[in-house]
Structure 1
Amino acid sequence: MDAQLIAFTGVAAGMVAMPGADFTVVVRNALVSRRAGVACALGVAGGLLVHTALAVAGVAAVLAAVPALFRALQLLGGGYVLYLGARTLWSLRGSRAVAAEATGTRQARAVAAEATGTASSAVRPLRQGFVTNALNPKAPITFLSLLPQFVPAGSPALPRTLLLALIVVVLALLWFPAVALLVDRLGRWLRGPRAARAVETVTGAALTLLGVLLLLEPLRAA
């Protein structure tokens, strides 16, 4: 592996591991069950695959050239993240007893889904992870500006760019499932009624704040 690939891997790892909406939504789903967390993580990696494919194809340049389209995608992505946060906070309404009962019900359903091996329990978190990442229009532009910096002068651009994109996707496939599995491993403490309520409050507030910030940015630029 050459020096440029090593440098790119370090930069890409930092980008993938940076806390944000992807990280928060994976944690939130991992608290429901290991299946949900891993499915959400795979959805995030799928979204990154779309972004890197767009960057390789040069489609991301269209977003940079058409500000109205870029702002529309920003609003759509911000609205979705805000929806996830608001729904999480709304689910916490009511008394602690109700929250504890709801937590126990979610756990029972998760265990039942794990035992029966039903694929349906993974569809929603997979979709949430994919949509949360795919609706981030900054990602393809970031990759479009970043990938060329690590293509040696005079070498074919397409094979090298495809390799760099593959590195990003592999890093996501390693990082986000690892986060989901770690959260699931700590679930003995995190899924207690008080801890679960606290974690869901934090993740819900974080998603809501991220959604508001994502919505405000294109509105300020308009």
Structure 2
Amino acid sequence: MDGQLIAFIGVAAGMVAMPGADFTVVVRSALASRRAGVACGVGVAGGLVVHTALAVAGLAAVLIAVPVLYRALQIAGGAYVLYLGVRALGGALRASGGAQADARADTRADTRADTRAGERVAGRALRQGFLTNVLNPKAPVLFLSLLPQFVPDGAAVLPRTLLLASIVVVLALLWFPLVALLVDRLGHWLRRPRTARTVQGVTGGALAALGLSLLSAPLAGS
């Protein structure tokens, strides 16, 4: 394994593990159930597949060349993340009664009792993870600027770029489901009514803040 590839793995691992909207959405889904958390992590990785494919194809350059498209994607992504944040904050505020909070916090029992409900929760989490990542306009631009830095002079560009892109996706497939499993392991404590409301409120606030920050730049520049 060459030195550039080792360096890229370190950079990519740090990039994937960096807390952000993806991380927050996975944590929030994992509080619902292990299946939902893992599904959300897989959805995030699916979004990265789209971004890396765009970067490999060079289509991400269009976002740089056409500011209107980039701004539109920023607004769409920011609005979606803000929506998730407001929804989570609303859920935290509604879960104020003890019995009601218990029913909302311990959804694992619900999913075991109703397989179809569990599948719906996991499917929704998968979509949320995918959309949260794929609507982030900074990701394809980041890949477009990062991947070429690790293509050695004289190397075949397409195979090397595909290898680098695959590494990012594999790291995401390892990291985000691991985060979901760790959250699930702490589930007994995290799903206590008061703790669950606090975590949901914090993650909702973080998502809302991220959504507002994503919206502020394009709206200020328009």
TM-score range, shorter chain: over 0.9
Contact 1:92/1:99 (<8 A) preserved: no
| Aligned pairs, number | 221
The residue that corresponds to 2:23 in the other structure is 23
- What are the superposed Cα offsets for residues 137-188 of structure 1, whole Å, 9 maximum, x if unpaired? 1100100000000000111100000000000000000100000000000001
Q: How much has 1:121 moved relative to structure 2?
A: 3.2
Secondary structure at 2:32 match in 1: coil
Question: Please, which moves more after superposition, 91-100 or 207-216?
Answer: 91-100
Structure-2 separation of matches of 1:7 and 1:74: 30
Task: Give the partner amino acid of 2:189.
Answer: W
Q: Name stretches of at least 5 consecutive residues in structure 2 with no aligned partner.
A: none
User: What is residue 67 of structure 1 aligned with on the other side?
Assistant: 67
1:103 equivalent in structure 2? 104
2:158 corresponds to which residue? 158
Output the CA distance in 2 between the equivalents of 1:163 and 1:221: 36
Can you list the C-alpha shifts for 1:14-66, whole angstroms capped at 9, x where unaligned?
A: 11000000000000000000000000000000000100000000000000000
Q: Partner letter of residue 212 of structure 2?
A: V
Contact 1:32 1:110 in 2 (8 A): no
Question: In the aligned structure 2, how far is the partner of 1:72 from the partner of 1:202?
Answer: 28
- In structure 2, give the amino acid aligned to 1:184: D
Contact 1:28 1:200 (C-alpha < 8 Å) held by counterparts: yes
Structure 2 counterpart of 1:186: 186
TM-score by length of 2: 0.95
Residue-by-residue CA offset, 1:164-213 (whole Å, 9 max, x unaligned):
00000000001000000000000010001011011001001000100001
Relative to the length of structure 1, the TM-score reads 0.95
For residue 217 of structure 1, report the CA deviation from its aligned partner: 1.4
How far, CA to CA, are the matches of 1:66 and 1:110 in structure 2? 45
Match of 2:11 in 1: 11
CA RMSD after TM alignment: 1.6
Q: How far has the Cα of 1:99 moved from its partner?
A: 4.5
Deviation (angstroms), 1:98: 5.8
Letter aligned with residue 7 of structure 2: A
Percent identity for Structure 1 against Structure 2: 68
